[in-house]
């Protein structure tokens, strides 16, 4: 089995798991931040469909844009979960969305 196939299979399992849960949702308006650089996450965000902007501000104040990305069934905050650190990037939504709030303990238990 290839790594691509394993990744696809894992993504499908996570999608099914998230949709079977009764997690809370949070509505974000156009331009709202899903994640703010430097903040700690109390939960992860599952976004079913959106367009997001990802930015990074360096220690010297210089701001870098990683562009606009169309996302579908995407988990935000997963890197910070694995590193136990604060958010590395600002992530803003380009449209109104209702994100699923995935509690860290539940995702940790699944993994």
Position 15 in a domain: no
Position 97 in a domain: yes
Position 85 in a domain: yes
Position 1 in a domain: no
Task: Per residue of the chain (111 residues), give pLDDT as tens.
Answer: 799 999 899 899 999 999 999 999 999 999 999 999 999 988 999 999 999 999 999 999 999 999 898 999 999 998 898 898 999 999 999 999 999 999 999 988 888
Domain hosting 52: range is 23-110
Give the chain as a 3 state SS string. CCHHHHHHHHHHHHHHHHHHCCCCEEEECCCCEEECCCCCCCEEEEEEEEEEEEEEECCCCCEEEEEEEEEEEEEECHHHHHHCCCCCCEEEECCCEEEEEEEHHHHHHHC
Q: What CATH number corresponds to the domain at position 78?
A: 2.60.120.10
Q: What is the domain count for the chain?
A: 1
Position 7 in a domain: no
């Amino acid at each position: 089995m290839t790594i691509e196939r394993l990744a696809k299979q894992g993504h499908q399992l996570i999608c099914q798991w998230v949709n079977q849960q009764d997690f809370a949702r949070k509505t974000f308006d156009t331009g709202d931040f899903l994640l703010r650089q430097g903040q700690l996450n109390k939960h992860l965000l599952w976004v079913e469909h959106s367009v997001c902007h990802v930015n990074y501000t360096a220690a010297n104040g210089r701001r870098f844009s990683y562009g606009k990305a169309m996302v579908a069934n995407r988990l935000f905050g997963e890197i910070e979960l694995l590193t136990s650190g604060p958010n590395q990037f600002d992530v803003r939504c380009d449209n109104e969305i209702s994100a699923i709030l995935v509690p860290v303990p539940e995702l940790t238990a699944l993994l």
